[in-house]
């Protein structure tokens, strides 16, 4: 199990205890597998950046990994990862072996060094993920990071979060940052893997959901506070994301709290 930190340019800036365990080091000595590994890491971090939530996934080889965002002033400035996690099961290695057959790799040697990997149960991985989440939250709330420079994508994201209720049209963003439409589209494609409209809509809905959970504000007030001035449109988009209307979502949360309360 290898904890590490990446910046938003997807550069690994810290790790422990080693950069790569023997199994992954051997696989990544193959250029095709190395490219596939980097693409897999990139896809996971891009998803994490969009959702701003940590999650467990299997890498393209079949080992388990975990990624969570590091935030500063509501902007994702890095990622914490737990990588190269094996459960040591026969099912896991069969899937790995099947995948590796398409590459020019010594499968017998792979098995030998796979067996030398530290193996961890799902419960141990879940506990490690909880610790990483706690660390990320502590770093954010205690402002333990000093961010001296925000790249353009981070500046755009911070501006959106700071002005979520106001005009965030493409024209306005281009004028504010003095960039062309093509440059703006490229930033969103490369950094967020989303269109400008989808990214902003997702941020607004996520913020609205948080306010519904944590405040007693009127739903219509929440909608306008995050930039939705057409309540019917807001309700439609919210239902598409969470499966129920905003009002029913709040009722479901209240019912769950009542059920969990001591009798």
Measured CA to CA, the distance from residue 184 to residue 217 in angstroms comes to 34
Q: How confident is the model at residue 144 (pLDDT cuts 50, 70, 90)?
A: low
Q: What is the mean pLDDT of residues 76-83?
A: 84
pLDDT at 142: 58
The CA-atom distances, in angstroms, between 39 and each of 34, 44, 229 are 9, 9, 39
Residue 115 CB: number of other CB atoms within 10 A?
A: 12
pLDDT digit string, tens, across residues 196-247: 999 999 989 988 998 898 888 899 999 998 999 899 999 999 999 999 999 9
- Torsion over CA of 233, 235, 240 and 243, rounded to 10 degrees? -170
Convert the pLDDT of each residue in 36-68 to its tens digit: 888 888 888 878 887 778 898 988 888 989 998
Q: For residue 191, what pLDDT is reported?
A: 83
Q: Which residue has the higher pLDDT, 160 or 10?
A: 160
CATH 1.10.10.60 in the chain, residue ranges: 152-260
Residue 139: which pLDDT band, with cuts at 50, 70 and 90?
low
Burial 67-101 (b: 16+ CB within 10 A, else e): bbbbbbeebbbbbbbbbbbbbeeeebbeebeeebe
Rounded mean pLDDT of 3-9? 80
pTM as predicted: 0.59
H helices within 101-165, ranges in order?
107-114, 122-141, 152-162
pLDDT, residue 143, reads 58
CATH architecture, domain 152-260: Orthogonal Bundle (1.10)
Can you say whether residue 82 is alpha, beta or left, with left for phi > 0 and alpha for psi between -120 and 50 degrees?
Answer: beta
């Amino acid at each position: 199990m290898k904890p590490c930190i990446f910046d938003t340019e997807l550069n690994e800036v810290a790790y422990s205890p080693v950069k790569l365990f023997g199994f992954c080091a051997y696989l990544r000595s193959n250029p095709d597998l190395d490219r596939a590994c980097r693409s897999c890491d990139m896809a996971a971090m891009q998803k994490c950046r969009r959702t701003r939530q940590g999650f467990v996934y299997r890498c393209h080889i079949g080992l388990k990994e975990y990624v969570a965002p590091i935030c500063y002033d509501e902007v994702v400035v890095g990622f914490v990862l737990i990588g190269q996690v094996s459960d040591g099961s026969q099912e896991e290695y069969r899937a790995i072996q099947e995948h590796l057959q398409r590459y020019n790799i010594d499968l017998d040697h792979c098995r030998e060094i796979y067996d030398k990997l530290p193996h961890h149960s799902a419960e141990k991985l879940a506990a490690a993920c909880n610790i990483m989440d706690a660390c990320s939250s502590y770093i954010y709330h205690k402002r333990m990071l000093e961010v001296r420079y925000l790249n353009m994508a981070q500046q755009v994201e911070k501006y959106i979060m700071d002005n979520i209720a106001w005009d965030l049209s493409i024209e306005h963003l281009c004028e504010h940052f003095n960039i062309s439409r093509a440059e703006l589209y490229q930033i969103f494609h490369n950094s967020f893997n989303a269109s400008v409209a989808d990214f902003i809509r997702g941020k607004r809905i996520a913020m609205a959901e948080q306010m519904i959970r944590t405040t007693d504000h009127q739903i219509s007030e929440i909608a306008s506070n995050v930039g939705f001035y057409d309540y019917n449109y807001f309700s439609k988009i919210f239902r598409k994301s969470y499966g129920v209307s905003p009002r029913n979502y709040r009722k479901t949360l209240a019912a769950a709290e009542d059920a969990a309360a001591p009798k």
